[in-house]
Structure 1
């Protein structure tokens, strides 16, 4: 799984920006950018918006933990397993998925 800092670092490098130049563009220090890239610090919402705009980031990529291909494979695997269950097992599995989806982890 790719973290926010890794995404920011990769995009910054892709655009040929140094940490210093990126920091200058958003009014922060290079040290702060380094902390974000290493996962030691997380940007506030306003700073995140500045980073998204400055780096022209795809917002979905920041929050999606898998590629579309990986997601499609998982959906296919779930569907195959689900189809092998009895109706009672399907209801239980659906209930369990609903419970899991409410968890914060």
Structure 2
């Protein structure tokens, strides 16, 4: 049931995106610090429940890797596309390896 684990991991990554985006927006002054940080903390409080449910579909290692890789890719895209951050070629290569990691996790032994 890798697809269910990917769905849960994607939802957890979405929380990361919203929380980290709000934290960055608070840091830059785009939103009030109190609101940005409070909403981030509330969103992060949901993640353990999602992680717990994801464990019924895959093991701890796979769920955690999926969550981290999906979150890393999408948060990186958020930084590049929305906050106009720059990445070096080496960092882009690292992001490409993350995509390969997701593909390898999806393969059966």
Both proteins in one fold, TM over 0.5: no
Q: Which has the higher helix share?
A: 2
TM-score range, shorter chain: under 0.3
Higher relative contact order at CA 8 Å, sep ≥6: structure 1 or structure 2?
Answer: 2
TM-score, L = length of structure 2: 0.23
